[in-house]
Structure 1
Amino acid sequence: MSQIHTLTMPKWGLSMKEGRVDTWLKEAGATIAKGDDLLDVETDKISSSVEAPFSGVLRRQVANQDETLPVGALLGIVVDGEASEEEIDAVVAQFLAGFTPDSDDAAASGPAPQKAEVGGRLLRYFDLGEGGTPLVLVHGFGGDLNNWLFNQPALAQQRRVIALDLPGHGESAKALQQGTLDELSGAVLALLDHLDVAKAHLAGHSMGGAVSLNLAAHAPERVASLVLIASAGLGEQINGDYLQGFTAASNRNALKPQLAQLFSDPGRVTRQMLEDMLKYKRLEGVGTALSTLATAMADGSRQRFALRDTVGTVPTLVIWGENDQIIPAAHAQGLNATKITVLPGQGHMVQMEAAEQVNGLIEAFIGGL
């Protein structure tokens, strides 16, 4: 039996309202498999590929290159089986007649990050979903809770998921004492106390992985499991030039080559991403915070944290991008982890570039505990 599928503009993160079609990666008439990259779309946060949610033949490209369309708008038609042009025309016409973009009012009424005085400092966090043992998402150096915009909404379909801005980052307070792992993991623990979360799964990216490991070492009774994504603290080597270059960058030309190292595809770095990062870096106290953290994390290209022994003290999933330019994927070798997955061709921001795979790995891991 033939099926005519409508391919629509995805919603990456709760704040996304529209996307611009950058380029089609498959020609009309191409046979595609579920998971294939069909086209690149640029949002105000990142440029990313739209994956095929079904298999078949791409019979029609409805959206044009450089066209900006709202979330849910029709991008193309994929047919599994046989269908006439007239049948496809009818499906397109029916879709367009019934499609209404979400209004700004509707978007504004949805969930939004919150702020609270926690442990003597202001922290921003985003609490989404309900049920189960909560999952807490801990970003890396220079990041914020938006580093999880492709992950949190999907994972929150199954459980409560909390993302936060660590001290010195995002919209949390910028002042740090020494920028140690104890200080950062203490802030995460204080947030758990504030939210009355007795025990949580922790997923940490890069520096956030070291923060999560440190929390598990000091308060194992509060940690149900660890998901370590390109984690710091599992080997000696780190790209010290990136840490110093990112910290020092004060304009677009200096910042862009630093951010490009985070991704397997440098095209993921959009103009808006650069503007947002520069805006953050120009906030009062950010320069001092980043310098403090960079010094606490590494001595040149040598990490100061040694946390391999904590892996496996609770159930642990390790995920890495094979082509990580910041922390080598080789650090995953020999770990006493429940499961280790190295994703081919991926870079440091693997949770953004390979979100569907990473989300599936996390959900299968936590769901199987």
Structure 2
Amino acid sequence: MSSSDGAGWTSGAVRVGGWTVRYRQGGDAAAGVPIVHVHGFGISGAYLMPTARLLTPVGLNIVPDLPGYGRSERPSRPLGIPALARTLLALLDELGLEKAVLLGNSMGCPVALEVAHAAPHRVHRLVLVSPAGGAHNQPLARALVQLGIDAVRESPRMARVAVPDYVRFGPVSALRLFAQLIRFPSQARLLRTPVPALAVIGTRDPLMPPPYRVREVASLAPEHDAVVLIEGAAHALNFSHPGELANVVGSWLGGRPIRDDPDQPGLARVLAVPRLLEPAG
């Protein structure tokens, strides 16, 4: 089952793990490895579409609503991060994707990391945008304050997309999943990721550590990992800064130097990281 939005994108649905999972797709399947965008907690993939649309020249882009989100079928209780990762891997099977680039935002980063660790042969590269989780977000009270600060830093247009999704998902379910997200050791998992990874962080994102701490952590990462800062961006920069994010991702996937796009809001810069480990292999 599929339909078109009139702008080169189609919508489809497949059965995964007993649920109907709906997705959007667009772009040239012959141009490169498909990119699968993975949304955050309590919200559908709709807010990822601004970036996905700009990445269609790079290849096929797929934006699913995981079970319980957006237009997809709801399980009897919300799925946790490990279950969402298993569902995402099964979705790759159903869509016939032997290998994909996983581009996650917020909770989508732990989900993508879990897939990469469980099945590295299925993940070409990882792009982790605002990879929340870990000591900087703990305890829960601290993370809730960070979330509140971020809410007023996001584009006002984001509310039109996010609020209906959060209402549908339910505040209790969202709080439980957020508590699971902040306990996920994103930084530790990133340091051991078996596939090349790019972390993209907004300098106005209160859920991310400050740049000096990011640099300290990144110094322990393997050579195939890179970190890019986007000045002026908050947590949901897939929505607020799609042009700069697409420029960064497209350059990285294409093996080109990552440089700021002066025509896009935000200032992108690669974080200079002194490596403390010898390159692997």
TM class, shorter-chain normalised? 0.7 to 0.9
Deviation per residue, 1:229-267 (Å, 9 max, x gap): 11124x312274587689xxxxxxxxxx94x72464x5x
Are 2:165 and 1:280 aligned? yes
Residue aligning to 1:153: 53
On the 8 A contact 1:321/1:329 being kept in 2, the answer is no
Over the aligned positions, Cα root-mean-square deviation in angstroms equals 2.9
**What SS is found at the alignment partner of 2:58?**
coil
- Partner residue in 1 for 2:266: none
1:344 has 2:227 as partner: no
1:143 paired residue among 28, 37, 43: 43
Structure 1 residue 328 and structure 2 residue 209: aligned?
Answer: yes
- 1:126/1:163 contact within 8 Å kept: yes
Decide which of 14, 17, 23 is 1:119's aligned counterpart. Answer: 17
Match of 2:178 in 1: 294
Secondary structure of the residue aligned to 1:319 is strand
Structure 1: distance between partners of 2:208 and 2:76? 24
Percent identity, please.
Answer: 26
Q: Work out the CA distance in 2 between the residues paired with 1:274 and 1:309.
A: 31
Give how far 1:172 is off: 1.7
- SS of the aligned residue for 2:25 comes to strand
Greater alpha carbon shift after TM alignment, 326-335 vs 153-162 = 326-335
Structure with more strand by fraction: 1
- 1:261 counterpart letter in structure 2: D
Equivalent pair of 1:179/1:296 in contact (CA under 8 Å): no
**How do 1:40-189 residues align onto structure 2 when only pairs under 5 Å count?**
108=6, 110-129=8-27, 130-131=29-30, 132-175=32-75, 179-189=79-89
State the Cα deviation string for residues 109-141 of structure 1 (Å, max 9, x = none): 853322222121121211211222111111112
> C-alpha distance in 2, partners of 1:324/1:245?
12
- For the structure 1 residues 287 and 345, does the alpha-carbon distance in structure 2 shift closer, same or farther, using more than 3 Å as the test? closer
**Cα distance between partner residues in 2 of 1:309 and 1:108:** 40
Which one has more relative contact order, counting CA pairs under 8 Å at least 6 apart?
2
Gaps of 5+ in 2: 257-281
* Larger-Rg structure: 1
* Equivalence for 1:318: 199
Task: Assess if the C-alpha contact under 8 Å between 2:12 and 2:24 holds in 1.
Answer: yes
Q: Aligned letter for 2:26? A: L
Which residue in the other structure is 1:218 paired with? Answer: 118
Matched residues, number = 243
Give the partner amino acid of 2:236.
M
- TM, length-normalised to structure 1: 0.58
Could you tell me whether the CA contact under 8 Å between 1:225 and 1:315 is conserved in 2? yes
**Distance between the aligned counterparts of 2:102 and 2:67, measured in 1?**
17
The structural deviation recorded for 1:107 is 5.5
**Aligned counterpart in structure 1 of residue 109 of structure 2, from 203, 209, 222:** 209
Partner secondary structure for residue 184 of structure 1: helix
The one-letter code sitting in structure 2 at the alignment partner of 1:327 is M
Q: Could you say what secondary structure the match of 1:237 adopts?
A: helix
Displacement of 1:177 in angstroms is 5.2
Task: Verify the 8 A CA contact 1:182 1:214 in the aligned structure 2.
Answer: yes
| Unpaired runs of at least 5, structure 1 | 1-105, 247-256
Question: Per residue, is there more helix in 1 or in 2?
Answer: 2
Q: 1:276 to 1:117 in 2, by over 3 A?
A: same
Letter in 1 for 2:53: P
